[in-house]
Structure 1
Amino acid sequence: MTVYNRYRTLLHQLALVRARAPGGDSPEADALLDSMDEVWDALSEGERAALERERARLAVSASDARAVPA
């Protein structure tokens, strides 16, 4: 699995976790976010830009996906 696909998988998992437990943090979401942080560092700028669009499509806010630098 490529780094890009790994991040996409984590992003989709986060969206599912957030849908199950809206408005609250969970240990599962925290673990996903930690993994996303690690994978984000290995992505190219082009991959990051593409994932920004994917994240917007999934309606995962920047505060939920803290792997995306401010």
Structure 2
Amino acid sequence: MTVFDRYRTLLHKLALVRARAPGGESPEVDALLDTMDEVWDAMSAGERAAMERERERLPHALAPNAHALPA
């Protein structure tokens, strides 16, 4: 699995976790966000740009909060 694919998987998992427990943070969300930060740091600039475009296409209901994702 590439770093890009790993981040994509984590992004979708985060959306699912947040859908199960809307309205608040949880230890599971915190752990996912920490892992996502590490994976984001390992991505190339091109992979980050591609992921930003992909996140923009996510339905609003599935997209995690913007402040929770690395910029």
| Category of TM-score, reference length = shorter chain | 0.7 to 0.9
Unaligned stretches of 5+ residues in structure 1: none
Aligned residues between the structures: 67
Contact 1:3–1:43 (CA under 8 A) maintained in structure 2? yes
What's the TM-score once normalised by structure 1's chain length? Answer: 0.84
Q: How does 1:30-69 map to 2 (within 5 A)?
A: 30-58=30-58, 59-65=63-69, 68-69=70-71
Percent identity between the two aligned chains: 75
Unaligned stretches of 5+ residues in structure 2: none
Q: Secondary structure at the match of 2:5?
A: helix
Give the AA of the match of 1:28: E
| Structure ranking higher on relative contact order (CA contacts 8 Å, 6+ apart) | 2
Which has the larger share of helix? 2
